[in-house]
Structure 1
Amino acid sequence: MEPRSTTVLISGAGIAGPLLAYWLHRYGFTPVVVEHAPALRAGGHPVDLFEPAMDIADQMGIAPWIREADTTTRTLRLERTGRRPIELDLDRLSTGATERHVEVMRGDLSALLHERTRHDVEYVFGDSVRSLREDPGGVDVEFDHGPSRRFDLVVGADGTRSVVRRLAFGPDDRFHHYVGGHVAVFAPPGLRVPAGRMTVHLGVGRLAAVYGTPDDGEGRAVLLFRRAEEIPAEERRDRDRSRALLRAAFAGEGGRVPELLAGLDAAEDLYFDAIGQVRSDPWHRGRIVLAGDAGYAPGAAVGGGTTVAFVGAHSLARWLARTGGDHAAAFAGHREELRDYIGRAHGIAPTAMRTLLPTSAARVALSAAVLRAVPLLPARLWRALLSTERRATGVLSKAPWQNRVLVVVAAPHVKGWDGRLRGPGSPGAPRPEEAGPRAGGILAPPGPGSLLRRGVPHRRHHHLDRQAVAQRPQRLGPGLVRTPPKRSPDPAGGEHRRFRGRGPGDARPRGPAPSRRR
């Protein structure tokens, strides 16, 4: 099956759906996006885009707009009942964590992705998948309102409560794993907060935060609290019941919490859900595959799900292009590439829950003491104190394809620079050094520290550390720079070359050191 003839239904127009549609269209597929909401959802909460997501955004040409919409918090004020508040400059905390980390409102990002794709991709709003019937040649899809249609592939990118997953894989409780807390997000009427400023009230097992949006300073609130048992979905969906549960969870807290609870009744955009992970490995079955939160959500508000959605959607499209639309091979390769990355991302939420929601008054006091001490400590020490955040950043900032230099270009019928479909070797087909999403190659765009971006040919490095190359021939450590060769005898025969790493943690392959005996 060739990409040009492959139709793909994508359920969900949030983040993963439009992103996947963009890359599928670029690779020559025909995506259709269906969304049960009547229009795009505005507002929402801030989401983090780490380095892999920003690399993909660069390739899509939307990174400048994302940076312009940056809502990164610059000042943090920590409040506790009966205690003096603490203010902290967060710009200092982010120094050295990652050079490519942007925070934007989810609604703004969703609107940007839709705008980037709406002229090339068919969108159907106000409808949803009702049933799926798969046979060897495709999938027949029935919708709640529109006529039935047939597609070659179906992708569920419709969130943690995915309709596609429920129809094709089974009920939600098989895949949704509760991690011990709940989150509510809403905009209390009349609440104003300066952009770039966040106020956090921390209590035992509960956290309330308010922040301002960059455009108009409209205040938004986030409530997080621990609970041993998950609140049933029917109670969370009931507005009156959910408001009562939130008031009970935050009863007795001071600061701005009473003001926020008073604004619950008038808030029309209340989002209330359990914090949970989706573990559906394998996340494909036949011609149906899951993407983003529907397949592997790392945890709402605590797990970096937006970056994971970027990485997953891009990987899926690239593998489908690489295999020429062979869904079985593409899904298997996609799963193998992402499995370790998603496993590491799933490890973030439990640690983040312990940090964000202390389980005792002593831990609350310890969190406050750490923040109070940060401005007084050398950078090396305060980064160690904030090791939880650094670990999360490290996991999300390293995509599974980064630092690979073995390039295989020419997925069948990829799009050239002029938008025309071309096969391998045809005039205007991507060159090896152009491999990546823009060119339709197998690998993702080289990371900032990769050899390809620095223009170092792969052929010069085929002899690096023979044992390491034999075990993993497609990988090199980040930031390797070849120095002029200094050759010295190798007791095993032949010669070896020395290399100099750049940056902490760089691999430093080298041959046996020459003897210093005289």
Structure 2
Amino acid sequence: MTGTESTRGARLTPRRKVLIAGASIAGPALAFWLHRYGFTVTVVEKASAFRGGGYPIDVRGTALEVVRRMGVLPRLRNAHIDLRRVSFLDGSGNAVASVNPHSLTGGTGNDLEVPRGELTAALYTAVRDDVRFLFDDSIDTLDQTGHGVDVTFRRGGTETFDLVIGADGLHSRTRELVFGPEAQFHRYLGYCFAGFTMRNTLKLSRETVLWNTPGRAAAIYAVGDNDDTVHALLNFAHPAPPLDAFRNPQAQRELVGDVFADAGWQVPDMLHAMRQAKDLLFDTVGQIHLPRWSSGRVALVGDAAYAPSFLTGQGSSLALVGAYMLAGSLANRDHTAGFAAYEHDTREFVTLNQNQVGKGDAALFPATAQALQQRNEMLRNLSAMPAPAERPAHSALTLPEFIP
């Protein structure tokens, strides 16, 4: 599968103005490439400053070529976590198996796993001197006209742009303004999670320890060598999205506390840390499926357009690849042809990666006692099995060379 090379010729509008909503991964990556192709770029971000931190993320397959072409691959290789093992425990905290992470991900030694803040810092540093960033602000209204998109900002003021791109994540405000409420595009996958940091009381080093009972999982992830803090994750099956908890942190803590109230191992300490955590992230596990990624002069990229869920491990990679493909598709085309080419050349890759869900979560989060028993038997025999080949979905798209 390969992308279609962009149309050669003179740039249609030499200094087209583009507003990108979101300064996480897809937004800065898109800004980098659009600037390279001669666009005037503004990035608006609701956070008050550049945001580091966050859970470790993967950069795999085709996305590795994107960051290589951006010149940030050496920095990311230096930040590679090099996770050494994943240890699985039963409900009593007894060891089931310890395995090489690649045995589960289907990846290769070339894949990168880096702290999320390292990737966002690398992208931001690569583009901060070339584009305008508006922090502590967001899009309030969008009005598409024959000459552009009139944007009103939350902090006041209006400005007209030739194009607006939503790179503002799973719960995209841009998508809601242009395409409608999230509920019609969100595919709930049956899980909720709470992520936070806590003290490294187990003195873990470059490893993940995962405790399971049917429909519940507690994970502690140490990204460095004897760091003082670790990443914690409490994941659980839930029949429907707990809508009442989304805007109520106290309700989130109570829900998670109730689900794990009788849990053993380190879970009581994790619940205590969660209740005190200032960096708690609570959300559902889900995907975004849209029939189209653009409407008029507005398009979406990354999780805003096609979130695959963290169960695939491909969210960051899709954001990087999608940003590259969108910018290149616009380089020598008007927005109508450019958006069409972006979707035509990228959607199959996105679909392949979204379809990876269900292949890894059955091993990480078995929902029933039978599934958990089968998973544990598989893990005990894993050392006798050959390592799986790299998932073709990770590298299913060959990047085209776009001509600015």
TM-score for both structures, normalised by structure 2: 0.92
2:159 to 131, 140, 149: 149
Q: Are residue 247 (structure 1) and residue 278 (structure 2) matched?
A: no
1:10 match: 20
1:229 to 240, 243, 249: 240
Q: Are residue 329 (structure 1) and residue 327 (structure 2) matched?
A: no
Q: Are residue 292 (structure 1) and residue 302 (structure 2) matched?
A: yes
Change in Cα spacing, 1:87 to 1:34, as seen in structure 2 (3 Å) is same
Q: Are residue 363 (structure 1) and residue 371 (structure 2) matched?
A: yes
CA distance in structure 2 between the aligned counterparts of 1:341 and 1:18, rounded to whole angstroms: 21
How far did 1:82 drift? 2.8
Report the AA paired with residue 11 of structure 1. A
Change in Cα spacing, 1:296 to 1:92, as seen in structure 2 (3 Å) is closer
Q: What does residue range 277-288 of structure 1 map to in structure 2 within 5 Å? A: 277-288=287-298
**1:32-51 Cα shifts (integer Å, max 9, x gaps):** 10000101222211111112
**1:447-496 Cα shifts (integer Å, max 9, x gaps):** xxxxxxxxxxxxxxxxxxxxxxxxxxxxxxxxxxxxxxxxxxxxxxxxxx
Which structure has the greater CA radius of gyration?
1
Q: Is the Cα–Cα contact under 8 Å of residues 182 and 224 in structure 1 kept in the other structure?
A: yes
Q: Are residue 263 (structure 1) and residue 273 (structure 2) matched?
A: yes
CA distance in structure 2 between the aligned counterparts of 1:363 and 1:175, rounded to whole angstroms: 29
Report the 3-state secondary structure (helix = DSSP H, G, I; strand = E; otherwise coil) of the residue aligned with 2:47.
coil
Q: What does residue range 39-118 of structure 1 map to in structure 2 within 5 Å? A: 39-82=49-92, 84-90=94-100, 93=103, 97-118=107-128
How far did 1:356 drift? 2.3
CA distance in structure 2 between the aligned counterparts of 1:240 and 1:91, rounded to whole angstroms: 34
Identify the structure with bigger relative contact order (alpha carbons < 8 Å, sequence gap 6+): 2
CA distance in structure 2 between the aligned counterparts of 1:83 and 1:191, rounded to whole angstroms: 15
Q: Is the Cα–Cα contact under 8 Å of residues 311 and 361 in structure 2 kept in the other structure?
A: no
Report the AA paired with residue 227 of structure 1. H
Report the 3-state secondary structure (helix = DSSP H, G, I; strand = E; otherwise coil) of the residue aligned with 2:375.
helix
1:501 match: none
Q: Is the Cα–Cα contact under 8 Å of residues 77 and 88 in structure 1 kept in the other structure?
A: yes
1:140 to 144, 150, 164: 150
How far did 1:168 drift? 1.0
How far did 1:378 drift? 4.6
Report the AA paired with residue 226 of structure 1. A
Q: Is the Cα–Cα contact under 8 Å of residues 196 and 233 in structure 2 kept in the other structure?
A: yes
2:395 match: 397
Aligned-CA RMSD value? 2.1
1:477 match: none
How far did 1:196 drift? 1.2
* Length, aligned pairs only: 393
Identity %: 35
Q: Is the Cα–Cα contact under 8 Å of residues 312 and 360 in structure 2 kept in the other structure?
A: yes
How far did 1:189 drift? 4.6
How far did 1:10 drift? 0.1
Q: Are residue 24 (structure 1) and residue 34 (structure 2) matched?
A: yes
2:191 match: 181
Change in Cα spacing, 1:92 to 1:57, as seen in structure 2 (3 Å) is closer
Change in Cα spacing, 1:302 to 1:236, as seen in structure 2 (3 Å) is farther
**1:190-215 Cα shifts (integer Å, max 9, x gaps):** 65643411111011011111112337
Report the 3-state secondary structure (helix = DSSP H, G, I; strand = E; otherwise coil) of the residue aligned with 2:176.
helix
CA distance in structure 2 between the aligned counterparts of 1:99 and 1:228, rounded to whole angstroms: 37
Change in Cα spacing, 1:4 to 1:322, as seen in structure 2 (3 Å) is closer
CA distance in structure 1 between the aligned counterparts of 2:316 and 2:89, rounded to whole angstroms: 28
How far did 1:303 drift? 4.7
Q: Are residue 354 (structure 1) and residue 362 (structure 2) matched?
A: yes
2:5 match: none
TM-score for both structures, normalised by structure 1: 0.72
- Which one is further off, 170-179 or 88-97? 88-97
Change in Cα spacing, 1:224 to 1:266, as seen in structure 2 (3 Å) is same
Report the AA paired with residue 41 of structure 2. P
Q: Is the Cα–Cα contact under 8 Å of residues 319 and 331 in structure 1 kept in the other structure?
A: yes
Change in Cα spacing, 1:97 to 1:37, as seen in structure 2 (3 Å) is closer
1:161 match: 171
Report the AA paired with residue 395 of structure 2. S
How far did 1:301 drift? 4.2
1:452 match: none
Q: Is the Cα–Cα contact under 8 Å of residues 303 and 349 in structure 1 kept in the other structure?
A: no
Q: What does residue range 455-494 of structure 1 map to in structure 2 within 5 Å? A: none
Report the AA paired with residue 160 of structure 1. L
How far did 1:235 drift? 1.1
Report the AA paired with residue 2 of structure 1. L
Q: Is the Cα–Cα contact under 8 Å of residues 69 and 104 in structure 1 kept in the other structure?
A: yes
- Which one is further off, 103-112 or 90-99? 90-99
CA distance in structure 2 between the aligned counterparts of 1:97 and 1:297, rounded to whole angstroms: 20
CA distance in structure 1 between the aligned counterparts of 2:216 and 2:369, rounded to whole angstroms: 11
Bigger share in strand: 2
Q: Is the Cα–Cα contact under 8 Å of residues 207 and 223 in structure 1 kept in the other structure?
A: yes
CA distance in structure 1 between the aligned counterparts of 2:394 and 2:102, rounded to whole angstroms: 20
Report the AA paired with residue 241 of structure 1. A
How far did 1:6 drift? 0.3
How far did 1:177 drift? 1.4
1:220 match: 231
Report the 3-state secondary structure (helix = DSSP H, G, I; strand = E; otherwise coil) of the residue aligned with 1:25.
helix
Q: Is the Cα–Cα contact under 8 Å of residues 51 and 99 in structure 1 kept in the other structure?
A: no
Report the 3-state secondary structure (helix = DSSP H, G, I; strand = E; otherwise coil) of the residue aligned with 2:352.
helix
Q: Is the Cα–Cα contact under 8 Å of residues 311 and 360 in structure 2 kept in the other structure?
A: no
